């Protein structure tokens, strides 16, 4: 069952003193009401089903949210002249698309890019400390005396929450339309090495569970043809 992030919205409203509302991007009438109420100039589309394993089990849910939900937002956004930027949050898993989640995010990327003026995408690696990040999972597992790692050779691109937010802001400021912004995250980090750093030499067992369906040993930030077109700008690339 899919749940809306009611608690997250509630906390933001209290912390920032702003008005917000919950809603399902799969419901066109809700999207129409939200745009009518707020008349946004900038839309940051971060709503998604983003975990590999649940999406492998229920691909129809990933399609409804990640593809059809994105289409609902795009269609409504284009109805409003006040809209200046539409920033779609994508993932490095969209490049190899070995998983249902990655494939649906890639499809959404293409839809956003093809809208032209004002519509841009941002590709994220793993955001350390965010919801769904491996770090909070390990911190909970440590209490049981054991943490899990999928494969000794598994590597992932890592970025901080600050880096992620900064890249979204850059995309909103500099994106003209049809670009994909990708942060330079350096070399991929070995997950087993990261796990060892987290436990800091404590007597914590590390269990190798094996890759699950849809998972890969390594990720890629860009397709080969994108690498030829990507323009480096400080610590990020712009793919046009």
Indicate which residues carry an active-site annotation: 93
The CB density around residue 74, as the number of other CB atoms within 10 Å, is 20
The answer to whether 230 touches 239, Cβ cutoff 8 Å, is yes
Instruction: Give strand pairing partners of 42.
Output: 85
Helix H segments across the chain?
Answer: 6-16, 28-38, 52-57, 59-62, 70-77, 93-96, 100-113, 134-142, 161-174, 191-199, 224-229
Three-class DSSP category at 236: strand
Distance in angstroms between the alpha carbons of the first and the last residue of the chain:
37
As to burial, measured by CB atoms within 10 angstroms (0-12 exposed, 13-18 middle, 19+ buried), residue 48 is buried
CA dist., res. 128 & res. 136, Å (int): 9
CA dist., res. 188 & res. 199, Å (int): 20
Instruction: Give strand pairing partners of 45.
Output: 88
């Amino acid at each position: 069952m899919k749940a809306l992030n009611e608690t997250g919205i509630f906390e933001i409203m209290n912390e920032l003193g702003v008005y917000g509302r919950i809603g399902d991007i799969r419901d066109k009438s809700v999207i129409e009401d939200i745009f009518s109420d707020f008349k946004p100039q900038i839309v940051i589309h971060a709503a998604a089903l983003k975990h590999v394993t649940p999406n492998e089990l229920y691909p129809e849910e990933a399609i409804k949210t990640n593809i059809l939900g994105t289409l609902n937002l795009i269609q409504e956004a284009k109805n409003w002249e006040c809209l200046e930027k539409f920033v779609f949050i994508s993932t490095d898993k969209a490049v190899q698309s070995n998983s249902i989640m990655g494939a649906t995010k890639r499809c959404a990327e293409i839809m956003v890019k093809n809208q032209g003026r004002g519509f841009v995408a941002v590709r994220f690696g793993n955001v350390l400390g965010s919801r769904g990040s491996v770090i909070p999972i390990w911190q909970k597992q440590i209490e049981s005396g054991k943490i899990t790692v999928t494969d000794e050779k598994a590597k992932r691109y890592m970025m901080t929450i600050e880096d992620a937010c900064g890249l979204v802001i850059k995309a909103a400021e500099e994106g003209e339309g049809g670009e994909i912004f990708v942060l330079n995250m350096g070399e991929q980090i070995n997950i087993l090495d990261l796990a060892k750093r987290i436990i800091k030499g404590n007597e914590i067992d590390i269990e190798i569970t094996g890759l699950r369906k849809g998972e890969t040993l390594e990720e890629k930030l860009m397709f080969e043809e994108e690498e030829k077109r990507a323009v480096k700008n400080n610590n990020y690339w712009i793919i046009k």
